Amino acid sequence: MERPWLEAERWLLVAVLGMEMLMGVVGNFLVLLVKVTCRGHFCCRYWLPFFSLTMSDLGCSLLIIPGSLLAMLTGRQRSPWCEVVSLLKFAFITSSIGSLAILCVQQLIGMASTRSPVFVVMAAACLSSWVTGVVFGSVPVVYTWIRYDPAEMLCAVFWENSYSDMLVYILCAFSICIFLPFLLIVLCSLLTIIGHRCEMDGEADLSSVSPKLVAFYMLCYTPFVASELILLGRMDLSPAPHWLRTLSSVMSYLDCSLNPLIYCSHQNFREAGLALLWTRKKPSTEPVLTSITRHDV
């Protein structure tokens, strides 16, 4: 039996989710605005994975976090929104780690996203991370493994009949969507550090923040991975502890909110954002010629 939320716990989570939603929506929207309108003010050789990652964070902040917030206020999520939230959350998780893996690969090979052949390959890789997430997120929806989980504050996958089905699905999903990108991130990061290729062309690239992005992603999604591993180890198909499932949702939402702050740790990006927000067109104080009168002598 799931224990009910105490009133104080419920309102604390509502406050936390509201703060994460506000930070995620405003922060990622501003990041997209700066990336699109101020690209000439900072160096960003690998803009495509950054754009994909920001779209994933913004989508989570606009769709998933508000869904959990409303579920805490109303006590449930209704179909078909229940199934849509479950599918999208897995798609956003997969696209985020896929975008980070693509960013690390591009840093290693040192080829910018603006070159046509590289752009096509990187665009296909980013798209495949989104498609893979949607495909694996659709499987539980098709097989009706989805129901509302009060601990996770959204609709999640629950297993009631077959341990073998659960084992096959989780192993396939983690191997393809999580473990493979994770290996690419670790391998490419190590090779990049060994090769000292963190900065190019004498100017600090926005990709210099990628180690922070990777570190916070791994930290924030550790509870999620731990809860899935606990589920794998339980033959009776009982889920992970209540508090761990709640922590996994809160921490995964926190990652979407923190990424805009990590971008702002890059000086040129921060200056471009500040210039966009606070630069105003000053009224001209110089005299302006409005007309000419000709006098014949």
Mind listing the domains of the chain with CATH numbers? Answer: 19-31+45-267 (1.20.1070.10)
List all residues 6 or more positions away from 168 whose beta carbon is below 8 Å from its beta carbon: none
pLDDT at 201 over 50: no
Query: In this model, does residue 97 exceed pLDDT 90?
Result: yes
Q: Tell me, what's the pLDDT at 282?
A: 44
Reported as a single tens digit per residue, the pLDDT across 17-72 is: 999 999 999 999 999 888 888 777 777 888 889 999 999 999 999 999 999 999 89
Handedness of CA 240, 257, 57, 212 (dihedral sign): negative
The gap from C-alpha 240 to its chain's centroid, in whole angstroms, comes to 24
pLDDT band at 281 (very low <50, low <70, confident <90, very high): very low
Q: 55 with 285: CB under 8 angstroms? A: no
Q: Averaged over 163-184, what is the pLDDT?
A: 88
Global confidence as pTM = 0.84
Q: Which of 87, 85, 81 is nearest to 137 (CA)?
A: 87
pLDDT digits (tens, 9 = 90+) for 129-155: 999 999 999 998 888 888 888 888 888
Cα dist from 110 to 107, 182, 191, 205, 215, whole Å: 5, 20, 12, 11, 21
Find where tokens 């997969």 sit: 94
